[in-house]
Amino acid sequence: MALYGAPIWAERLTTRAKALLRRPQRLVAQRMVRAYRTTSHAAACLLAGTPPWELDAGVLAERYGLKVEARERGEVPDAEEAERRERAAAERLKERWRDALENSAYGTRTIGAILPVMDEWLSRRRGP
């Protein structure tokens, strides 16, 4: 529900709006991993394996924009092309998340422990 309409509002996110998105996500992530309430947003999301919603919204907006452009050209992507775009979007999200984590001011000890093995950590959290 938090990402409803993300392609429309993702590019207009202000610092205040990002904080409003982070508050409930942090709470949910902390409960998912049973963390202390002093655990930072970045650390809680990483432990829970959920990327920040503002990054997720940006990738959703990009995917939507590509779909609109393809429709305007009269193209209909096949299932293989759609799967390739989906994987590329997931990789972009992971790269942006990694960059955000490397520049995070809070949760540095937790992030520093998990960041070198982030791919393995996320695949472990999501299952086979």
Q: Encode pLDDT of 42-81 as tens digits.
A: 999 999 999 999 999 999 998 888 888 888 888 887 888 8
Q: Does 128 score more than 60 pLDDT?
A: no
More confident residue, 26 or 81: 26
pLDDT-above-90 percentage for the chain: 62
Kindly state whether residue 40 falls inside one of the protein's structural domains. yes
Residue 79 has what pLDDT? Answer: 81
For 34, the domain range is 6-126
Q: What's the predicted TM-score (pTM) here?
A: 0.82
| Residue 115 and residue 101 in contact, taking contact as beta carbons nearer than 8 Å | yes
Position of tokens 């919603």?
53
Q: Is residue 24 part of a domain?
A: yes
What is the Cα–Cα distance from 24 to 53, expressed in whole angstroms? 10
Task: Give 79: exposed, middle or buried? Use CB within 10 Å, 0-12, 13-18, 19+.
Answer: exposed
What length does the chain have? 128
Instruction: Name the amino acid, one letter, at 23.
Output: R
Mean confidence (pLDDT) of the chain? 90
Is residue 93 included in any domain, yes or no? yes
Tokens of 19: 């904080």
**Quick check: is 44 in a domain?**
yes
Contact criterion met (CB below 8 Å) for 50 and 29: yes
Distance from the Cα of residue 39 to its chain's centroid: 18
Q: Is 1 a member of any domain?
A: no
**Domain-located, residue 99:** yes
Residue 102: inside a domain: yes
The answer to whether position 113 is within a domain reads yes
Number of domains in the chain: 1
Cβ atoms 110, 46 nearer than 8 A: yes
